[in-house]
Structure 1
């Protein structure tokens, strides 16, 4: 084998193809999340447990496309942040961790803000289904270990403007 580098053929795309390629590259950059993988807008949310009130800043996703993407491809989820999935009405829901690199706690929440179920320490990149078990309207995803650290349990309340006034 030769140790000499192989040279690529010298060729150019026609102008119209170069323009299209440039526009596609620009659209990919513009549609990508920022360097932290976080959406620009968040809203406050509080989880009330036996250990007190715990405040989060969460991204809210309500469209099918945003729900399908969720926290996929993110390399980290900072403490005190998360993603709240709003399914518009109570229904059985299921999640998986495909293309999700960070272990998460999934908190399944009824329409009134009561925690119905917690799936702790989900397995990154797994295609195993994580079901709600009961009809829920919301799912809060936070970094794994959060539910245990805050001693969250079914029946605890999640409060925000979305769920009505804090109690």
Structure 2
């Protein structure tokens, strides 16, 4: 009986059923870099106005491989600032397909400068997802424009990195 249960569990792993659920968990962002490396980040979700306004303010630390994913209802111009944010952050801006379009590295704590989600001249300045990581994490993980975000919040019918 125990052997049958173990074989059934192994079959689920081999067929990908267990991996599917894990790769699309709401508390995990899967990032596929342009060179084919996959990075996983545990995320808190900020998907309403109050959560997005609070963000990571007042935090004294943010562990490696952890961050906050800001989710907007539709693509729109976005900008962030570091008011009341006590730690340096990397701020990654993604379009509606989950493609990383712009990275602002090492945003300075407590700085009130507006950090836009698009560079001047970008033909599509709209962003739907923003991922904040501890300062330096984007470079350490190789997260550059073109990286694809896998997450259940990304519309799956046109996702650059659909959920498995």
Q: Does TM, scored on the shorter chain, surpass 0.5?
A: yes
Are the equivalent residues in 2 in contact too, given 1:51–1:151 (CA < 8 A)? Answer: no
Rg bigger for which structure?
1
- Deviation per residue, 1:30-63 (Å, 9 max, x gap): xxxxxxxxxxxx6111111126101011011111
- Deviation per residue, 1:57-103 (Å, 9 max, x gap): 10111111111110000000111110001111101011000100010
Tell which has more relative contact order, 1 or 2 (C-alpha 8 A, sep 6+). Answer: 2
Are the equivalent residues in 1 in contact too, given 2:77–2:126 (CA < 8 A)? Answer: yes
Matched, 1:72 2:62: no
Separation in 1, partners of 2:139, 2:46: 24
Separation in 1, partners of 2:72, 2:42: 19
Separation in 2, partners of 1:157, 1:139: 12
- Where does residue 11 of structure 2 map in the other structure? none
- Deviation per residue, 1:94-130 (Å, 9 max, x gap): 1000100010000000111100100000000100100
3-state SS of 1:120 partner: strand
Are the equivalent residues in 1 in contact too, given 2:71–2:153 (CA < 8 A)? Answer: no
Equivalent pairs counted in the alignment come to 126
Separation in 2, partners of 1:127, 1:118: 18
Separation in 2, partners of 1:122, 1:156: 20
- Please identify, of 98-107 and 50-59, the stretch whose mean Cα deviation from structure 2 is larger: 50-59
- Please identify, of 75-84 and 50-59, the stretch whose mean Cα deviation from structure 2 is larger: 50-59
Structure 2 portions without partners, runs of 5+: 1-25, 119-124, 157-161
TM-score (norm 1): 0.72
Matched, 1:86 2:64: no
Structure 1 portions without partners, runs of 5+: 1-41
